[in-house]
Structures are given as C-alpha cells and as structure tokens.
Amino acid sequence: MWMPLLGLLFGAILGSAISFEIPIAYAKYMSIAVLASLDSVFGGIKSVLEDRFDGFILLTGFFSNTLLAAMLAYLGDKLGVDLYMAAVFAFGVRLFQNLATIRHHLISRTLRNLGPDKR
Amino acid sequence: MRKWILPITFVCIISGLLLALQFKIQASQTPTPTEQRNEILVGIINNLENEISTYQERIAEIKAEIETIEDVTASYQDDIKYLQQKVQKAKLQAGLTNVKGRGIRITLDDNKSGLLLAPNDDPNRYIIHYENILNIITELKLGRAEAISVNGQRIVSTSEIRCVGNVILVNTTRLAPPFEIKAIGDPDRLEEILLAGEYDLLKSTGFPVSYEKFTEETPLEIPAYTGTFQFNYTTLN
C-alpha cells in the first residue's frame, strides 16, 4: 500500500541527489514528461479502484503518451506554434478527471464500509 | 490485489525523478520576478551610465573647443580693437560721424535793408553769393577747422558749393539764406582769420552777419555726412 508513495519519495530524492541537469531548452519536454507521468500515476490508481487495472496497459500508456507529447512539442517547435500547450492542456484535464473519479470512488467505498445498511 | 503495486511504484519513481529534475531546473534557471526586475533595473542603470559617460565626453570635447576658440579670439582681440579704432578715426576724418567740440558759428544773410535804401542799385550787390560762402569755408580750413557744415550740410572732400540759378547747392542740397556756417576748431584762431577775410568784407559792406564762439562747456554740434562716396574711376596706385 505504501510502496507507491515510498517510490515517489525515492524518485524525488534520486532526482535531487544526481548532479545531472536538463538544459533549459528542453524544459518544455520535461514539463510534458512530468505531466504524463503524473497522469499515468493517477490513471493507474483510478483503474485499480475500478478493478480494471492492467500493468502492461499502464506502462505502454505512460511511454506512448510521453513520446507522443514530446513529438507534438517538437513539431510545434518546428512550426512555431506552441503545440506542447495542447499536450499540457490534455494531460491537465485528464489529471483532474482522474482525481475526481478517485475521490468519488474513495468516498463511496468509505461510505459503504462504514454503513452497508445505507445502500 | 497486489499485482498493481509494482507498476504503480515504477511510474511513481519516474514521476518523482522527473518532478525533482524539473523543480531543479525551475529553481536554478528561472529567475524570480524580483530578480528579473532587478536585472531590468541594472540594465537601465548601465544604459544610463553609458549615456552619461558619452555626454560627459561630449561636454569635455565642447569645452576644449570653446577654450581653443577663446584663445584664438583673445589673440585677435587686440588686432580687432586696433582696427576698430582706426576705422573710427577714419570715419571721423571723412566726416561720417556726428561730432561736437569748441568752435565758431557764423550767420550770413542778404542785405535786404541795404537794398531797400538803394532800390535802383544792382540787387546782386545785396545778396550772399556762393563765392562768399566758399571763401569763408576756405578761410576756416586755413584756420585748421576740423569739421565744417553749412545749414546742416557737412562739408566733406566731395562737397560742392555752387550756385544754381538763385539757390546754392551744397552736397546736392539746395540752401537758402540765412546761411549758418559751423566750424569746429580753435575759436580764437578761427575768429582771427574771419575778421581778416571775407567775413570782414561782408560786414563792412553792410551785410547782416554775425558770429558766435562756442566753448568746451557749450559745444558746437555738427552732423555727419549722410551721402555716399563714389569712386568709379579711381583705384589704388
């Protein structure tokens, strides 16, 4: 249960510890990658709560989303259009939707556990 | 149930890593608004300082220029003064300035009462002729008069004194009696020469003539020659 949180903490510490820094020119791609990973985390949690979880789908979704978003951002750079904003927007919207679903599931589950009579 | 733990953890690790990296970039690369403002202000200050130094250089240049010009003018100042004095003196000598000084004023008029007493006599014997004026002026020049005028007409080197019909022309201006001749010079010497010449002759033949001496305190004023000097045929030799 605590493994994902520990993993998050571990990743953060690792990122802070290593001296490697991504050049500022790739900040756009990084922001998309961050959003894609967060989206995957919450999407995964949602699917767990919905009992539809599949590890393979999660991982492929994560990589393909990140890759597609990066390509979109690159294309936007070449065309002079801020296309990466579309990816940021799409991931942001999905993030909030997933969060809302997770909250919904958690609340209904808690209520069910507290008083099964109510249903 | 536990099959989801590993993949989620894996994604979480990557998320944490990416978050930390991105945070590090943001923290190191993006300046805070205050820093940005400071940078802008520093830029403005630098620009202004550059501008100031440019202007200061310009000021120094102009000051140096002014000094050079002042040096030059200072060296010419004496020459200019000398030339101005010379010009002033030349104008004075040529009769182109209003002058005043000690002198004598002679008034000549036609002998109208004499003509009335002898109506059958030749009237020409009772009027002032241009020769009378010319003689008196020549005598005044002999007495070293420095400035002479007849009825306000300054006598200069080109002045003519000539009768035309029944009027007298001086500086191409027609004059009528009574004639008033002014001369600046030594009053006593001028008086002396007058009394031994034309004036005395006129006086003795009954013309109403008179003269008045002017001292330093009540100086005689003689106007400038207002005409021009034309030299169409004369060149420096």
Q: Which two tokens stand for residue B118?
A: 């002898």
Phi, psi angle pair for B59, to nearest 5°: -60, -45
Q: Please provide the average confidence, as pLDDT, over all residues in chain B.
A: 86
Buried (b) or exposed (e) across B100-123, using 16+ Cβ within 10 A? ebbbbbbebbbbeeebeeeeeeee
Q: How far apart are CA A8 and CA A14, in angstroms?
A: 10
Bridge partners for B170 per DSSP: B161, B173
**Contacts with B16 from chain A: Cβ below 8 Å:** 7-15
Instruction: Using CB atoms, pick whichever of B11, B25, B29 lies closest to residue A62.
Output: B11
Instruction: Using CB atoms, pick whichever of A6, A34, A41 lies closest to residue B11.
Output: A41
**Contacts with B12 from chain A: Cβ below 8 Å:** 4-5, 7-8, 11, 41
Q: How far apart are CA B43 and CA A39, in angstroms?
A: 42
Buried (b) or exposed (e) across B63-86, using 16+ Cβ within 10 A? eeeeeeeeeeeeeeeeeeeeeeee
Does the distance separating the beta carbons of B16 and A8 come in below 8 Å?
yes
Determine the pLDDT at residue A119: 47
* Domains of chain B, residue spans: 35-94, 99-222
Does the distance separating the beta carbons of B10 and A7 come in below 8 Å?
yes
Instruction: Using CB atoms, pick whichever of A11, A21, A45 lies closest to residue B8.
Output: A45
CATH placement of domain B99-222: 3.30.70.1880
ipTM: 0.77
Which of residues 15 through 54 in chain B touch A, CB cutoff 8 A? 15-26, 28-29
Give B51's contacts (C-beta < 8 A, 6+ positions apart).
none
Using a 10 angstrom Cβ sphere, with 0-12 exposed, 13-18 middle and 19 or more buried, the burial of residue B141 is: middle
pLDDT band at B64 (very low <50, low <70, confident <90, very high): very high
pLDDT band at B44 (very low <50, low <70, confident <90, very high): very high
Q: B52 vs chain A: nearest CA distance in angstroms?
A: 36
Determine the pLDDT at residue B184: 92
Give mean pLDDT, residues A82-90: 85
Judge whether A62 is closer than 8 Å to chain B, CB to CB.
yes
Give mean pLDDT, residues B208-215: 88
* Cα B150 from chain centre: 28
Judge whether A114 is closer than 8 Å to chain B, CB to CB.
no
